[in-house]
Amino acid sequence: MTKVYICGKLVDKADAVVSVFDHGLLYGDGVFEGIRVYSGKVFLIDEHVERLYESAEAIRLEIPMTRAAMAQALNETVAANGIRDGYIRLVVTRGAGTLGLDPKKTSDPQVIIIADSIALYPSEMYQEGLKLITASTLRNHPQALSPRIKSLNYLNNILAKIEGADAGCVEAVMMNHLGHVAECTGDNIFLVKNGVISTPGTDAGILEGITRNCVIKLAREAGYEVREKTLIRHDIYVADECFLTGTAAEVIPATSLDGRLIGDGKPGPVTKNLLERFHKFVRNH
Ligand code: PMP
């Protein structure tokens, strides 16, 4: 029986419930993380815990436990469920309150940890590459709700994901309010041109992906030049390679955008090299 961490305890899945007055449900008022477990170990736990607390701070939500206690709760939940290779969903809601917006009238923020198996992209997609479309739905305006906050408001991304699905694509490229490339609905985007790797900077209206940061570091260690810079759709069309990074996807090639092939339409050598290096890093983690 799956055990879920909630209210400081591990309980059976069926007993893991929150109030219908929780502002996480009523207003999407909360933050979350998606974290990988490899060989029984929580991957980049400190980075994920840190991003969670930063997201919470940005929405003025005080998480009612220390970072160390959070890390311990994550490890305990993984152990209680006997997860070797899987996925953790960590959620912190504002807690139950009145039907009004005022977060001051809420109490008891809920810390919820679910450790489960992971849904991966099929292996053919790693061999052949993903097809992408450009979504018409923009990423959040950074001055409305910063995309750097991993909040429980994912509606833009969900609408873009639906646009992708309607076009037969599992991912879609989202632009920011300036018309620059931001990221995909649940993955960061990278391009390779003449051996140089580029990706939108953190000011482009993106979630600063933990896989993104890890891949940038691995790429630089491997001797590649990595530039964080403004990218427009033209850059994708003329790139030699394109790949996406994310907790579930790791490093996955993308080989077409809006029906136009990227490079020769096949996963390229830099992408393959970085996926290999990422796997090696995970094994040694
Ligand atoms: N962008 C968005 C919008 C995301 O939700 C995610 C996480 N699924 C990512 C990028 C990738 O971030 P990470 O590498 O931390 O999973």
Among the three residues 99, 116, 133, which one is the final residue of a domain in this structure? 116
What is the CA(188)–ligand 1 centre distance, in A? 6
* Whether the Cβ atoms of residue 169 and residue 198 lie closer than 8 Å to each other: no
What is the CA(202)–ligand 1 centre distance, in A? 13
The reply to whether 268 and 152 lie within a common domain is yes
CATH of the domain at 137: 3.20.10.10
Distance CA 161, CA 142 (A): 20
Backbone angles phi, psi at 52, to 5 degrees: -60, -45
Q: Has 150 been annotated as catalytic?
A: yes
Dump strand ranges (E) for 86-165.
Answer: 86-93, 111-116, 130-134
What is the CA(142)–ligand 1 centre distance, in A? 16
How many other β-carbons are positioned within 10 Å of the β-carbon of residue 72? Answer: 12
Active-site residue among 3, 13, 105, 150? 150
pTM of the model: 0.97
The reply to whether 112 and 136 lie within a common domain is no
Confidence of residue 22 (pLDDT cuts 50, 70, 90): very high
- In total, how many domains does the chain have? 2
CATH of the domain at 78: 3.30.470.10
The reply to whether 109 and 141 lie within a common domain is no
Dihedral angle of Cα 10, 70, 188, 31, to the nearest 10 degrees: 80
The reply to whether 275 and 165 lie within a common domain is yes
The reply to whether 61 and 145 lie within a common domain is no
Ligand 1 neighbourhood includes 205 CB (under 6 angstroms): no
The reply to whether 67 and 155 lie within a common domain is no
**Domain residue limits at 234:** 123-283
The reply to whether 82 and 210 lie within a common domain is no
Among the three residues 116, 135, 166, which one is the final residue of a domain in this structure? 116
Q: What is the pLDDT of residue 69?
A: 98
213 Cα nearest atom in ligand 1: 14
The reply to whether 228 and 192 lie within a common domain is yes
The reply to whether 132 and 111 lie within a common domain is no
Confidence of residue 1 (pLDDT cuts 50, 70, 90): confident
Query: For 96-110, b where at least 16 C-beta lie within 10 A, e where not — what string?
Result: bbeeeeebeebeebb
Give the residue, out of 36, 170, 188, with the most ligand 1 atoms within 8 A of its beta carbon, to mutate for a pocket test.
188
> Quick one: 157 exposed, middle or buried, by C-beta within 10 A (0-12, 13-18, 19+)?
buried
Q: What is the pLDDT of residue 124?
A: 96
Mean pLDDT computed over 28-50: 98
The reply to whether 102 and 235 lie within a common domain is no
The reply to whether 111 and 138 lie within a common domain is no
Ligand 1 neighbourhood includes 187 CB (under 6 angstroms): yes
Ligand 1 neighbourhood includes 149 CB (under 6 angstroms): no
The reply to whether 149 and 216 lie within a common domain is yes
Among the three residues 116, 146, 171, which one is the final residue of a domain in this structure? 116
Residues 252-270 pLDDT 10s = 999 999 999 999 999 999 9
